[in-house]
A = this chain, B = another copy of it.
Amino acid sequence: MTPDNITLMLLSLGILLGAARTLGELAQRFHQPAVVGELLAGVLLGPTVLGTIAPALNLFLFPPNGPNAIALDAISNLAIVLFLMVAGIEVDLSTIWKQGRLGLKVGITSVVIPFGLTFLTAWIFPQIFGKQIEVNQLVFALFIATAISISALPIIAKTLMDMDLYRSELGMVVVSAAIFNDIVGWIVFAVVLGLMGGASTEGNHIVLTIFLTLGFAGTMLTLGRWLIDKVLPFVQAYTRWPGGELSFALVLALLGASFTEWIGIHAIFGAFLVGAAIGDSSHLREHTRVIIDKFVSFIFAPLFFASIGLKINFMTHFDFSLVLTVLMVACIFKLIGGTFGARWGKMSARESLAVGFAMVSVGAMGIIIGLLALEYRIINQRLFVALVVMAIVTSMISGPAMRLILSPVKSWQLKDALFSKLFIRELKALSRRDVINEMVQIVCREFSLDNNELERIVWEREKAMSTGIGKGVALPHARVEGLAYPLVAVGISDTGIDFDAPDGKPANIIFLVLTPDSAPESQLNIVSEIARLFRNQPILQSTLKTRTFTDFLALIKSQSMPKQT
């Protein structure tokens, strides 16, 4: 690569990553999966938008041929291998066994029903999916069935966590079904690719590829898994921590990916299976998992998904009736599959429907499978665009539909309840009573609440038992009738105010926690989150150093550890 090539590579990677992450964040702000924004970044920078408005710039940044095209291709191939490895690590095989029959029932029906129905539809009416004549009918129908019946484990898990249902029975059933779904889906897809490779050569080749695929999957999930579990303690004990474990995982994933690419199915299948085998080891340390997960999810995955948008003009290849067909087939068949499984497992009608909608989302995995099919020329660009739209739309409706059906109590977190206008950097008041009055007044002014009434209930609670919890923190709180969502006012006093704390220390940070009467548990959640945050002394010092609400919010967000999944 010449210096000019390198300049361009770094520039295009910087722009691509920047755009993908910015739009990914924006998508999440609107409660959509990040992958929606990441794909959109590619669509904006690719032929669809930039290529139409400023074709020269588009060609300069992302040339279709030459060393820079190869470099970007190499990096996005590496990115997808690492992404699938992380997806594999997230898959916890033991969840399926723990969940037992119910999970297995939903798992099986949510694969078999959409797979079977889509396969039949695509076999009998291949033209409605726009099958090209030169493509083998069996391969095509099998592929369509796989692309539609696979599920988006990361998106499903995220939706369940947002609704605080991840650890519930419904959550565990859905997750274990999605894991089962993922593994079966990938194995079937690998077999489809084997069939396809075989179609061009002799019959022996097909049998060999399928045999190698199933053999590799079986070996990785039994012997490989066992071996990794045995070897990991040696790696941890006799190499640098966490570097040894980190490179051990990556080297295995690269070699596994290379092996599956070599036997004629795609590299990502190997990476996924290696990831699943590693993730299942009880010896894999959380610290290593976090490093791999964060670096891959926030750097490599956005680069990969954005690069998809660069490959295709989504506008010219958008075929409305095809998009609608694929979308309808996916939604209906998947909804039937999931709902039926849950009913069969004796869940209530309402919960079964929620399970059905959870299993509807196709997400990133569907896009990846579609991309491979496009590269292997099983499908054309129009069908690929339809699959991408289907994958995204199903992921976007899945969460809201579940919310509508279950109407779960939203689990509020501290960061949802903080507002810049309720941040009082320097309290004027010097006594407990005055502080409460000062803070209540500001809340009432900003949110048009009844001043006197609120002051009375907060003070009554405070009188009953002091809310100074020690270590410089006080937490006056009240449940307020008619409030739609929790409000937390934050007052900082550099001098400190006596809140009669058990450790006798004056309070420097006062959180006034007001929660809706209708969501009684939100008070306990928020109060205990604050108590947990300020258990360690250093954060108090850091808080006293903050000057603005942004500084304060940054501190709170980067101190609270993400929920464990």
A contacts, CB < 8 Å to B? 1, 3, 6-11, 13-15, 17-18, 21, 25, 28, 67, 70-71, 73-75, 77-78, 81, 232-247, 250-251, 254-255, 257-258, 261-262, 264, 266-267, 283, 285, 287, 290-292, 294-295, 297-299, 302, 548, 550-551, 553-555, 557-558, 562
Q: Tell me how far the C-beta of A216 lies from the nearest C-beta in chain B, rounded to whole angstroms.
A: 14
| Beta-carbon contact of A295 and B246 below 8 Å | yes
Subset of 21 A-B contacts with CB under 8 Å: A1-B70, A3-B266, A9-B78, A10-B77, A10-B254, A10-B257, A10-B258, A14-B254, A17-B250, A17-B254, A21-B244, A67-B74, A75-B78, A236-B555, A237-B550, A238-B550, A240-B298, A241-B557, A241-B562, A243-B294, A291-B295
| Beta-carbon contact of B233 and A9 below 8 Å | no
Please name the 9 residue pairs, one residue from A and one from B, whose CB atoms are nearest each other, closest first: A14-B254, A71-B74, A236-B554, A243-B298, A237-B553, A10-B258, A11-B258, A233-B554, A14-B255
Closest to A270 in B: B10
Complex Cα gap A1–B233 (Å): 37
CB-defined contacts of A283 to chain B, threshold 8 Å: 554
Tallying the copies of this chain within the complex gives: 2
Known: A10-B267, A13-B78, A233-B550. 8 other contacts (CB 8 A): A1-B77, A3-B266, A6-B77, A9-B77, A17-B247, A17-B250, A21-B247, A233-B553
Closest to A253 in B: B14
Contact residues of A: prevailing secondary structure? helix
Q: Tell me how far the C-beta of A147 lies from the nearest C-beta in chain B, rounded to whole angstroms.
A: 19
Q: Tell me how far the C-beta of A108 lies from the nearest C-beta in chain B, rounded to whole angstroms.
A: 32
Q: Which of B1, B291, B299, B557 interacts with A73 by CB under 8 Å?
A: B1
Q: Which of B77, B246, B255 interacts with A294 by CB under 8 Å?
A: B246
CB-defined contacts of A78 to chain B, threshold 8 Å: 9-10, 13, 75
| Beta-carbon contact of B67 and A261 below 8 Å | no
CB-defined contacts of A3 to chain B, threshold 8 Å: 261, 264, 266
| Beta-carbon contact of A7 and B258 below 8 Å | yes
Q: Which of B74, B245, B251, B295 interacts with A17 by CB under 8 Å?
A: B251
Complex Cα gap A14–B232 (Å): 18
CB-defined contacts of A11 to chain B, threshold 8 Å: 254-255, 258, 262
CB-defined contacts of A266 to chain B, threshold 8 Å: 3
